Amino acid sequence: MHTDKPLFTPGPLTTSLTVKQAMLRDLGSRDFEFIRIVREIRQELLRLAEADDRGYEAILMQGSGTFGIEAVIGSITPPDGKWLFVVNGAYGQRMLQIAKALRIDAAAVTFPENRPAVAEAVAMALDHDPTITHVGAVHCETTTGLLNPIQELGQIAARFGKVLMVDAMSSFGAVPIPVADWGIHYLVSSANKCIEGVPGFSFVLARRDMLTQTNGYARSLSLNLLAQWRGLENDGQFRFTPPTHAILAFRQALAELEAEDGVPGRAARYRHNYEMLVAGMRALGFAEYLRPEDQSYIITSFRYPDHPNFDFGRFYETLNGKGFVIYPGKVSDAACFRIGTIGRLYADDVRALLDAIRETLAEMEVTL
Ligand SMILES: Cc1ncc(COP(=O)(O)O)c(C=O)c1O
Domain membership of residue 298 (yes or no) is: yes
**pLDDT reported for residue 236:** 93
Count of Cβ atoms closer than 10 Å to residue 282 Cβ: 12
Phi, psi of 172 (to 5 degrees): -60, 130
Q: Does residue 225 sit in the same domain as residue 102?
A: yes
Domain limits for position 226: 17-258
Q: Does residue 148 sit in the same domain as residue 279?
A: no
Q: Does residue 164 sit in the same domain as residue 303?
A: no
Domain membership of residue 12 (yes or no) is: no
Domain membership of residue 329 (yes or no) is: yes
**Residue 169 C-alpha to ligand 1 middle, in angstroms?**
6
Q: Does residue 251 sit in the same domain as residue 145?
A: yes
* Mutation probe of ligand 1 site: the residue of 9, 67, 190 with most atoms within 8 A of C-beta: 190
**pLDDT reported for residue 196:** 98
**Residue 64 C-alpha to ligand 1 middle, in angstroms?**
8
Q: Does residue 221 sit in the same domain as residue 157?
A: yes
Cβ neighbors of 177 (< 8 A, separation 6 or more) are: 49, 139, 150, 166, 168, 171, 184, 187
**pLDDT reported for residue 138:** 99
**Residue 359 C-alpha to ligand 1 middle, in angstroms?**
32
Cross-strand partners of 204: 59, 188
CATH number of the domain where residue 83 is located: 3.40.640.10
**pLDDT reported for residue 317:** 97
**Residue 79 C-alpha to ligand 1 middle, in angstroms?**
26
**pLDDT reported for residue 350:** 98
**Residue 53 C-alpha to ligand 1 middle, in angstroms?**
28
Q: Does residue 109 sit in the same domain as residue 240?
A: yes
Domain membership of residue 247 (yes or no) is: yes
* Mutation probe of ligand 1 site: the residue of 70, 143, 170, 223 with most atoms within 8 A of C-beta: 170
Q: Does residue 138 sit in the same domain as residue 67?
A: yes
Q: Does residue 145 sit in the same domain as residue 228?
A: yes
Domain membership of residue 271 (yes or no) is: yes
Q: Which of 241, 258, 275 is the last residue before a domain boundary?
A: 258
3-state secondary structure the chain: CCCCCCECCCCCCCCCHHHHHCCCCCCCCCCHHHHHHHHHHHHHHHHHCCCCCCCEEEEEEECCHHHHHHHHHHHHCCCCCEEEEEECCHHHHHHHHHHHHCCCEEEEEECCCCCCCCHHHHHHHHHHCCCCCEEEEECEECCCCEECCHHHHHHHHHHHCCEEEEECCCCECCECCCCCCCCCCEEEEECCCCCCCCCCEEEEEEEHHHHCCCCCCCCCCCCCHHHHHHHHHHHCCCCCCCCHHHHHHHHHHHHHHHHCCHHHHHHHHHHHHHHHHHHHHHHHCCCECCCHHHECCCEEEEECCCCCCCCHHHHHHHHHHCCCECEECCCCCCCEEEEECCCCCCHHHHHHHHHHHHHHHHHCCCCC
**Of 148, 202, 199, 201, residue with least CA distance to 175:** 148
Quote the CA–CA distance of 75 and 223 in Å, as a whole number: 8
* Mutation probe of ligand 1 site: the residue of 7, 60, 66 with most atoms within 8 A of C-beta: 66
CATH number of the domain where residue 313 is located: 3.90.1150.10
Domain membership of residue 161 (yes or no) is: yes
End-to-end Cα spacing for the chain? 32
Q: Does residue 253 sit in the same domain as residue 272?
A: no
- Please identify, by atom number, the ligand 1 atom nearest to the C-alpha of residue 192: 10
**Residue 132 C-alpha to ligand 1 middle, in angstroms?**
25
**Residue 183 C-alpha to ligand 1 middle, in angstroms?**
22
Q: Does residue 147 sit in the same domain as residue 283?
A: no
Residue ranges in the chain whose pLDDT is less than 50: none
Domain count, the chain: 2
Q: Whose CA is nearest to atom 2 of ligand 1?
A: 169
Q: Does residue 210 sit in the same domain as residue 238?
A: yes
Domain membership of residue 368 (yes or no) is: no
- Please identify, by atom number, the ligand 1 atom nearest to the C-alpha of residue 141: 1
Q: Which of 203, 238, 258 is the last residue before a domain boundary?
A: 258
Query: From edge to edge, which strands make up the β-sheet containing 299-303?
Result: 299-303, 336-340, 327-328
Domain membership of residue 55 (yes or no) is: yes
**Of 337, 270, 328, residue with least CA distance to 297:** 270
**Residue 168 C-alpha to ligand 1 middle, in angstroms?**
9
* Mutation probe of ligand 1 site: the residue of 9, 67, 91 with most atoms within 8 A of C-beta: 91
Quote the CA–CA distance of 56 and 92 in Å, as a whole number: 24
**Who lines ligand 1 at CB under 6 A?**
10-11, 64-66, 91, 138, 142, 167, 169-170, 190
Q: Does residue 220 sit in the same domain as residue 282?
A: no
Quote the CA–CA distance of 37 and 26 in Å, as a whole number: 14
